[in-house]
Structure 1
Amino acid sequence: MRRVPELSTERFILRPLQESDCAALLPTLSDADQCRFLTRPEFTSHEELWGWLADPTWNGRTWIAEDGEGQVAARFVSVPAHEEGVEEIGYITCAHRQREGVARECTEALVRHLFETDGLRKLTAEVDAENTASVRLLGALGFTREAYFREHETTHIGLRDVMMYGLLAKDFLAPSEPVRFGRRP
C-alpha cells in the first residue's frame, strides 16, 4: 500500500482514510443525485461503502479533507495510470459543503503535492461530459481537455460521453508571465 501523507491548506487537513469517515461520506454517497457522475449507483449501507473505499485490490490512494473542527468535507484520490509518472485524480465534496471552494482548495494542494513531492510528470481526470462543476474546476486549475469520447461508457444512468483532461507538471509549476502595462514598443 502506498503512503498517504498528510497535506494542509488554509482551511483543511488532507489525511488518510479512516473507517469512521464512512459516517460522514454516506449521506452524500447514498444520494442518487450526488452519485450521478460516478460509474456506479449510490451506496445503500455503511458496509457497502466501506467495502468500496477500503477495497484491498484498489491501487490508488485516498485523502479525506477535514476542516479545523474535525468535520469531513470531501474525498480526493490519486490512482496510477498507464505508465510511471502519470496518475489520475478524482474528488467528491460532501453535499453540505458544496459551493464553499473545498474542491478547488484541496485539489490544488493535492496537485501541487503530486507534482512537487511525488515528482509526477502528468495528471489526468476523467469527467462525465455533463459534469459542469468538475469541468469548471479542472479548467480553473489549468487542466486541458485532451479528448472527448462519445458514448464511451455505460454506467448506472446509461450510456455516457466522457472527457479526458490532462495537466503537465511543467505547465502547472511554470512561473507565470509578468503582466506588463504601458505602450507597445
Structure 2
Amino acid sequence: MLRPEYPIETARLTLRPFAETDFDALHAYQKLPEVARYLYEGPREPAETAEALERRIARTSLEKAGDVLVLAVVLRETGELLGEVNLCWLSESNRQGEFGFVFNPAFHGNGYAGEAAVEMLRLGFDGLGLHRIIGRCEARNTASARLMARLGLRREAHFVQNEFVKGEWNDEVVFAMLATEWADARP
C-alpha cells in the first residue's frame, strides 16, 4: 500500500493530487491533437475532460494491485499545471508496476517530465517496494522513448502492430527497470 505525503517537492516542481481548479489547465492540453496522438483516446471535449479530472482527483493512493496513482505536476515558481505523471500497481505478488507521463507541449524541452518521472520511479521502488517498473509508448513517440532511456530504463521489447488504436495498427515499445538498477542509477 502507498499513500504518499503531499505535496511532493522536487528542485522546480510540486507533485500533488489533482483538484477541481485544475480543469482549465488540464483541458488546455487534453484537447490538443498533438497530445492525444499517441494516447488511446482522441482530443477531449470539455465534458470528457471533466470526467477525466474526476477520475484523477480520486487517484491519490495505491491500495491494491490494479490501482493507479495520478499526480498533477505544477511549476512551483508560477503555480502552472504542466502535466501529469502516473504509477499503476500491476501485480502485488510479482511486485510489478508501470509509470507514465503526459505534459502540455507548451512546457516540453525543459526537463520537467524527467524530473517528475523520477519521483514516480522513487514512489514505486522506494515507497511501494516494487521489483520492476515498466514504461510503454507508441513506437512513433520517440520523445517518450528517449526520456525513458535517459531515466535509465532499458528498452526490452518492440511489439509490431500489437494494438488497433484509432483505426490503425500501432507498434509499441516497452522499457523497464529493476529495483537493483534503480538503486545503482538513483538520482
Say whether the 8 Å CA contact 1:60–1:77 is kept in structure 2.
Answer: yes
Change in CA separation of 1:117 and 1:132 when aligned onto 2, cut-off 3 Å: same
Say whether the 8 Å CA contact 2:2–2:127 is kept in structure 1.
Answer: no
- 1:167-182, aligned counterparts within 5 Å? 167-174=177-184
Deviations 1:64-112 (A, max 9, x none): 1111221111100111214442111110111211111110111112212
Query: Shift in Å at residue 157 of structure 1?
Result: 5.5
User: Are 1:61 and 2:62 an aligned pair?
Assistant: no
Deviations 1:140-168 (A, max 9, x none): 11111121111011112521001111111
Query: Distance in 1 between the 2:80 and 2:53 partners?
Result: 18
Query: Distance in 2 between the 1:37 and 1:74 partners?
Result: 15
Map of 2:116 onto structure 1: 106
Where structure 2 has 5 or more consecutive residues not aligned to the other structure, the ranges are 60-65
Say whether the 8 Å CA contact 1:36–1:157 is kept in structure 2.
Answer: no
User: Are 1:71 and 2:80 an aligned pair?
Assistant: yes
Query: Distance in 1 between the 2:185 and 2:177 partners?
Result: 15
Map of 1:3 onto structure 2: 3
Say whether the 8 Å CA contact 1:127–1:134 is kept in structure 2.
Answer: yes
Q: Taking structure 1 as the reference length, what is the TM-score of the superposition?
A: 0.86
Query: Shift in Å at residue 2 of structure 1?
Result: 6.2
- 1:1-185, aligned counterparts within 5 Å? 3-6=3-6, 7-45=8-46, 47-55=47-55, 59-68=67-76, 69-84=78-93, 85-156=95-166, 158-174=168-184
Local SS of the residue matching 1:174: helix
In proportion to residue count, which structure has more helix? 2
Q: Taking structure 2 as the reference length, what is the TM-score of the superposition?
A: 0.85
Alignment coverage as a number of residue pairs: 175
Deviation larger for 88-97 or 50-59: 50-59
Query: Distance in 2 between the 1:34 and 1:78 partners?
Result: 19
Query: Distance in 1 between the 2:27 and 2:153 partners?
Result: 29
Query: Distance in 2 between the 1:26 and 1:110 partners?
Result: 23
Map of 2:62 onto structure 1: none
Where structure 1 has 5 or more consecutive residues not aligned to the other structure, the ranges are 177-185
Deviation larger for 55-64 or 67-76: 55-64
Change in CA separation of 1:4 and 1:50 when aligned onto 2, cut-off 3 Å: farther
Percent of aligned pairs with the same amino acid? 25
The CA RMSD over aligned residues, in Å, is 2.2
